[in-house]
Amino acid sequence: MIEQYVRGLRQVDPAQVALVGGKGAHLGGLSRIEDVHVPDGFCVTTDAFRRIMAQAPSIDDQLDALSRVNPDDREAVRTLSARIRRTIEEVVVPDDLAAAITGALARFGEQAAYAVRSSATAEDLPTASFAGQQDTYLNIVGPAAILRHVSRCWASLFTERAVTYRRRGGIDHRTVLMAVVVQRMVVPHASGILFTADPVTGNRKVATVDAGFGLGEALVSGLVNPDVFRVCDGEVVAKSISVKERAVHALPAGGTREVTVDARRQEQPALTDAQAVSLVQLGRRIEARFGRPQDIEWCLVDDGFRIVQSRPITTLFPVPEAGDEENHVYVSVGHGQMMTDPMRPLGYSMWQLTAMVAMHEAGGRLFVDVTGRLASPASRAGLLDALGKGDPLVRDALETVLERDGFVPSLPDAGPGGPPAGGAPAPIRTDPAVVTELIERSRASIAALERDIRTKTGPELFDFLLEAFEEHKRVLSDPLSIQAIMAGMEATWWLNDKLQEWLGEKNAADTLTLSAPDNVTSEMGLALLDVADVVRPLPEVVAFLREVEDEDFLDALAKLAGGAEARAAIEAYLDLYGMRCVGEIDITRPRWRERPTTLVPVLLDNVRNFEPGAAERRFEQGRQKARLKEQDVLARLRAQPDGDRKADEVRRMIERVRTFIGYREYPKYGIISRYFVYKQALLREAERLVQAGVLPEREDAFYLTFQELHDVVRSNGVDDRLIQERKEAFRSYHELSPPRVLTSDGEALNGAYRREDAPVGALIGLPVSAGTVEGRARVVLDMAEADLEAGDILVTTFTDPSWSPLFVGIAGLVTEVGGLMTHGAVIAREYGLPAVVGVERATSLIRDGQRIRVHGTDGYIEILS
């Protein structure tokens, strides 16, 4: 019976989280590492907690009420959690359970002082630390006091902060149990925290030691600022010694108190450099044992260090696996693709298989290794220039890495430059027929894919898809397509550079490219205005759409007056654009065709905010504005010396940019069209696996890579545990923010704007669409929840092409992620919306409903109210 309720720390297996909680399991693992000294003690197991909960009156009703409460209703959470804690604390500990605990105390010293510490089963885990969410009590003396504080630890599973943390992490309160660790109290000279990786930069080679006098409670509570030591490669590379006026000491009879540190010691370091280095060496052994960077609580006593806790550092972004010990520099794919959310394994593996360059996964995101191109001076300049034009923050981050001596070795260029074999390709002619031909090629390729995939099932489908991926890449690498894209981009850059030089005008190409032809993404936004024109005069349909919740609403729509007409318009729109969705590079994301309710709020906004014929008028207004801008620019140029030559060059370049800039969006449309065909075939295969009893749910296939799903189809067997682990990892990845640049040392860099031309207090970003606009900020994190009025300014994390239908109804755009040629920027220019992108933390610094002014020409935002 005693074994059921009490386990000595040295008998605890690190895998026994369900029995002794995360902290207890980690302490058990620590006690098994050579030369790591853990204070003696024992764990009161989760079986004891279960028994107490079974005796707690009405606890099930209280937990039901807690699960129903809105997590944002802090008062309700506070009230309910306090009631549950009182209920648990008032349960009398059964005699046999009390005897098991006091018996363990007798073995370690009944009247000794102890630390009584909570250890929940969802604590100190690789994906969630729960640091500080439950309670710890120091210097508790005597069996009665120990039992009382064990009860308090059980109750602390329901502190307000722990309840909120679980709700945010999607963890069911009933699935979490509480064990309690009881350890002999250590009375230290100094104590603190060791991070075996830099918690700010993520650098795995730099450890950080925080240290203060006395018990660690002084640091944890913020009573004093710690001494900080940064240790790398066995030496202290930086340190900061604070003035430590206060400390927390243990009292002989139990409890703790705050004391004043002797004035002569206040500015002395809590550790010597040698002690800091020795502590980090100890931390490296612990890190190696647990297989990931650790956040370690330590104490220094007369004969050395005691380790009182170790938990994973859950905030570090993972490092891609390179398979070697060399230095690597990675650039984020998601920042370029306007999708920084994590991808499921099927999603990222499909993107890897269809991408033109090798990509590496970490934290559910993809990265490209640019180390080789940075190492060569010739390719380095081209890479920095190309990435810098798109996103100057990426360039700045890479330059920060390059400034570090030796991290990226400088290699000699392979040989003299020169045109490729066969000579440089001939310049593409400025001819709309080129774009027409490219679009027809893409359509034909997709039609062939749709035709040929229909009969493919089982392993044959996967073999077919591998061949289809090669065709996919062939289409992407079509030299004519690449030339057309580059022609539009280069013409844009040329116009902006020359017109600023000759006329002093910034970003003139923004106006000159308004309503350019063949832009499938801007056409998508305008087409939904046409659907609104069909719906607007149908009151029954409008009323029905306002109440829509089910994805099969189109079937019911046809039964209403005018419903057949409305349904036909929506179906026609989905036929053209139903393969799109937010985060569309992840094949596992639900497409509009699969979840058409996503479009309903935007459609209703268009019905409310626009008059009939708005799409045609808007396109024509843009075209006229571009034409007038061209006339103005050419007239001003002709008035200059050598003006006829300049005007002629600019006129030709305007014709070129308007011919090709719209096509910039088409290859992505082709990719996503193909992706939807792949997805439908894979879902049919996943459904067969469900029918065969191999997969519990069709969407479980999303948590397997393409190759793993292929293996499951061949073997008709799946590792259920792997799928569950992947689901938990995917949930945890949402808490991580991917950096623009990541090194193999784990350092995460996001770059900085090196600018001083914005007003004090303004939010700095990248100007991508000219103009200035003032209006109400609408902070929208989910397109389906957008509620926009004419004149609103959209503020969001990122916008991929699927956000384009929202652009027709807004006055300006602010995003946290983006670059000059990313989709949101291109469409903002197409619609004439002032836009600033790459604004760090815009969605938290700008509050929904505030009035803001967006300076799209100069790249900053002013918050007005």
Four-point Cα dihedral 609, 615, 618, 623, nearest 10: 170
DSSP H or E segment with residue 763: strand 763-764
**What CA–CA distance (Å, rounded) separates 727 from 734?**
11
3-state secondary structure 686-723: HHHHHHCCCCCCHHHHHHCCHHHHHHHHHHCCCCHHHH
249 burial (CB, 10 Å; 0-12 / 13-18 / 19+) is middle
Total Cβ atoms within 10 A of residue 367: 24
Residue type (1 letter), 128: A
236-241: Cβ within 8 A, 24+ apart: 236/273, 236/276, 236/277, 237/206, 239/269, 239/273, 239/276, 241/267, 241/268, 241/269
Would you name the residues annotated as active-site residues?
823
Instruction: Give ∠ CA 126-28-36 in degrees, rounded to 5.
Output: 100
Take residue 755 and report the two structure tokens written for it.
Answer: 């600018």
Helix and strand counts by DSSP (H, E) for the chain: 32, 26
**What CA–CA distance (Å, rounded) separates 20 from 47?**
9
Cβ atoms of residues 791 and 774 within 8 Å: no
CA distances for 49 relative to 99, 142, 176, 309, angstroms? 15, 21, 11, 22
Residue type (1 letter), 608: R
Cβ atoms of residues 473 and 356 within 8 Å: yes
Q: At what angle do helices 563-577 and 520-535 cross, to 10 degrees?
A: 170
**What CA–CA distance (Å, rounded) separates 476 from 354?**
9
Residue type (1 letter), 724: Q
Q: What is the DSSP string of 35-80?
A: T-----EEEE-HHHHHHHHHHSTTHHHHHHHHHHS-TT-HHHHHHH
Cβ atoms of residues 7 and 17 within 8 Å: no
DSSP H or E segment with residue 231: strand 227-232
Cβ atoms of residues 817 and 335 within 8 Å: yes
The side-by-side arrangement of strands in the sheet containing 113-120 is 6-8, 41-44, 178-184, 113-120, 136-141
